[in-house]
Structure 1
Amino acid sequence: MGAINLHLELVFDDGLSWMARLKRRNTSALPAAVQPYLIRSEVATYSFLREETKVPVPEVFAYALDSDNPVGTGYILMEMIKGKNLLSTSPTSGQLNKVLVQLAEVYKELYRHPFPVMGSLDTPGSKKIGPVVHDLMVDLALTRNGGRDMQHCVSFPGPFINLRDYYHALIPRILHMIVVGELYPFWAVDAFLIHKFLFDLLERWSEDIQETGKFYLRHFDDKGDHIMVDRDFNITGIIDWEGAYTAQKTEAFTSPIALWDSKEFFSERKSLSSSELEFARLLDGASHKCANHPTNINLGDCVRFGKIFQRFRICVGYTLYDENMENYRKAFMGLLKEFGIYSEQSWEEWKVFALKKYSEDKKLACLLRREG
């Protein structure tokens, strides 16, 4: 059982097993009006992967988009993938390397199937790309066409032609949520300054960062429990594609969270873990020879130079507990070093600079009064 979904194994009389993935009803669940899009997009992703690629994913047998059914909630009935998720195992270095060899082939396979825009698959049986679903844009999706209670009014922003346009839509929404107390309630000033600066930083993105033209399917939550392995550490399936989206090459093929050294990542350093370096080596040589973009680098280099995209993704709307705020600040300062700016400043020095830079911002003034 996860925060959003409940999983049940259904065993038939003949011994066949299916997996039932049901939407939960709790404080973590997204509003009922947006859940049909999530389910439809996830089913569309599974459909594409099974029909168009060699990526091992479960087959979907049936699904319901909303609660108007005998079960009482939206669900997906799919093939049961045998094995354990990688996150729950303790592989030796040799066993992990065996997984990385197979995962590199998954990356290469996804690379063979580019899309024209950044977004999420939204129609089962079709390669049509729709908006990017992000939980921090839910209220915006429910209200932008008026009427929060009408399912047909749901409309997420997108699709987008580059990553910068995506963040142009997302960051103002996060700034609003900070101001009204929905995000970072105990660290509102720090979070506001970071997101305000990140929004301004978008204008300084170079040509190779705001890549356009080719986008590739990316798993949204690749922390390791999405990779199913058998006892010999053969990958039996890649699961949990909810929230998957197409990303530009240099973001789509960064290393999965499962390979990060979290202590190094939440620091101001750029170093990669030994697993990331090995994964990059396995991906060397895979590139789009016909690409006409300055970022025609191989997939291994996407891993080596990908921290800038990983840190940006973490810093924008990062969900954290109070005790993790220090890690958040370090990740942000590491991001600034990736851009080669304010590399000699400490967090405290940067905050003084930012407070002065945005001293005329009325929303910041309101937050400063609130925090006393």
Structure 2
Amino acid sequence: MGAINLHLELVFDDGISWMARLKRRNTSTPPAAVRPYLIRSEVATYSFLKKETKVPVPEVFAYALDSNNPVGTGYILMETIKGKNLLSASPTNGQLSKVLAQLAEVYQELYRHPFPLMGSLDTPGSTNIGPVLHDLMADLALTINGGRNTRQLVAFPGPFINLKDYYCALIPRILHLIVVGELYPFWAVDAFLIHRFLFDLLGQWSEDIQETGRFYLRHFDDKGDHIMVDEDFNITGIIDWEGAYTAQKTEAFTSPIALWNPEEFFSERKTLSNSELEFAQLLDDSSHGRADHPTNINLGDCVRLGKIFQRFRICVGYTLYDEDVENYRKAFMGLLREFSIHHEGPWEEWKAFALKKYSGDEKLACLLKREG
């Protein structure tokens, strides 16, 4: 059971096993109006990977988009991938190296299938790229039906021609949700200042981080439990493609979260873990030539240079719990250094600077008044 999905194994009389992936209903799941789009996009992603690539994924046998069915919720029926997920398997260094060599082949395979836009696959059996299916990007309208309030999906923005345009659409939405109390309720001022500054920072993005024209499918939640392995640490499948989207090369081929050193990542340093360095070396074998412009760097260098994209992704819309706030601040301070904004002081000093910088912002004034 995950935060959003519940999984049940269905075993038939002949020994064949299917997996039922059911949408849960709780405070962690996206709005009901968004869930059908997530299911359809996930099925479209599996369909593409199964038909067009050599990436090992389960076959989808049937699905329902919403709760209007005998099961009572949206679901996907798919092939069961045998084995353990990599996180629970606790590999030794040698076993992890074996997995990384196979994962490098997966990255190389995904690189062979570029898309023209940044977005999500939206139609099973098609390679059409639609909007990025991020729940914070959903335009919802409140409707009254029989005296009952419901939220209907109006649209998702996108697809986008580059990463900058995506963040230009996402960050203002997050700022609004912070102000109305739907995001970061206990750290509203800190989160507002960070997102307000990051929005301004978009104007300073240079061409080398605004790639256009070629985008690659990226797993949304690559923390390690998406990789299934057998007893010999052969990859048997890569699962959980919900929320997958196409990203520019330098973001698409950064290292998976599973390889991060959390202590280093949530710091102000750029240090890569030993596993990341090993993975980058494996990807060097897929060399596509080094050049001054990052769109021409090889996949290994995407890992070496990827912290800027990883930190930006964590800082924008990050699910923040009380115990995480210090790590969140550290990730942001590290991001400033990625952009060569050398603020050498502690967080408190930067916050004082930001409060002064945005002292005329009415939304910030509202938050400061609310927090007393």
Which AA in structure 1 matches 2:65? L
The Cα shift of 1:285 comes to 4.1
C-alpha contact (below 8 Å) 2:289/2:297 kept by paired residues? no
CA contact (8 A) 2:163 2:247 kept: yes
Q: Offset of 1:289 from its aligned partner?
A: 6.3
The separation in 2 between residues aligned to 1:332 and 1:195, in whole angstroms, is 10
Distance between the aligned counterparts of 1:296 and 1:161, measured in 2? Answer: 18
CA 1:78–1:288: 2 relative to 1, 3 Å: same
Paired position in structure 2 for 1:362: 362
- Output the CA distance in 1 between the equivalents of 2:362 and 2:64: 46
Gaps spanning 5+ residues in structure 1: where? Answer: none
Q: For the residues of structure 1 that align with 2:259 and 2:329, how far apart are their CA atoms?
A: 22
1:41 maps onto 2:41 in alignment:
yes
Name the CA distance, whole Å, in 2 between partners of 1:158 and 1:264: 34
Aligned-residue Cα RMSD (Å) equals: 2.0
Alpha-carbon distance, 1:146 to partner = 12
Q: Is the CA contact (8 Å cut-off) linking 1:145 and 1:155 kept in structure 2?
A: no
Note if 1:136 corresponds to 2:136: yes
For residues 290-315 of structure 1, give each alpha carbon's deviation from its aligned partner in whole angstroms, at most 9, with x where no partner exists: 99965210000000000000000000
Which deviates more from structure 2 when the two are superposed, residues 2-11 or residues 335-344? 335-344
How do 1:78-97 and structure 2 match up within 5 A? Answer: 78-97=78-97
Q: 1:17–1:80: 8 Å Cα contact kept in structure 2?
A: yes
Matched, 1:208 2:208: yes
Change (3 A) 1:291 1:75: farther
Aligned to 1:242: 242
Give the counterpart letter for 2:178 in structure 1.
I
Residue 67 of structure 2 corresponds to which residue in structure 1? 67
Q: After superposition, where does 1:167-186 map in structure 2 within 5 Å?
A: 167-186=167-186
Matched AA of 1:319:
T
Write the distance in 1 (CA, Å) between the matches of 2:209 and 2:202.
Answer: 10
Q: 1:346 offset after TM fit, Å?
A: 2.2
Report which stretch shifted further, 281-290 or 304-313.
Answer: 281-290
Closer, same or farther: CA 292–65 of 1 in aligned 2, 3 Å: farther
- Aligned equivalents of 2:286, 2:143: Cα separation in 1: 43
Q: Is this contact kept in 2: 1:36–1:65, CA < 8 A?
A: yes
The amino acid of 2:271's aligned partner reads S
Alignment of 1:242-261 (within 5 A): 242-261=242-261
How much does 1:351 deviate?
Answer: 1.2
Match of 1:164 in 2: 164
Partner of 2:227: 227
| CA drift at 1:150 | 7.0
Residue 342 of structure 1 and its aligned partner are, at CA, apart by 2.8
Aligned to 1:190: 190
Amino acid aligned to 1:74:
G
Specify the code of the residue in structure 1 equivalent to 2:363: K
Is the aligned partner of 1:269 residue 2:255? no
TM-score by length of 1: 0.95
1:12 aligns with 2:12: yes
User: Which has a greater percent of strand?
Assistant: 2
Distance verdict in 2 for CA 1:173–1:255, change over 3 Å: same
Distance between the aligned counterparts of 2:292 and 2:347, measured in 1? Answer: 39
Kept after mapping to 1: 8 A contact 2:142/2:151: no
Letter in 2 for 1:137: M
The 3-state SS of whatever aligns with 2:9 is: strand
Instruction: Map Cα deviations across residues 12-69 of structure 1 (whole Å, 9 max, x no partner).
Output: 0001000000111222222222111111000000000000000000000011111111
Tell me the secondary structure at the aligned position of residue 143 of structure 1. strand
Q: Once the two structures are aligned, what percentage of the paired residues are identical?
A: 83
Tell me the alpha carbon deviations over residues 144-198 of structure 1, each in whole angstroms, 9 at most, x when there is no partner: 99998475x4311110000000001110011011111111111111111100000
Q: What displacement does 1:280 show?
A: 0.2
**Secondary structure of the equivalent of 1:303?**
helix
Q: 1:290 to 1:336 in 2, by over 3 A?
A: closer
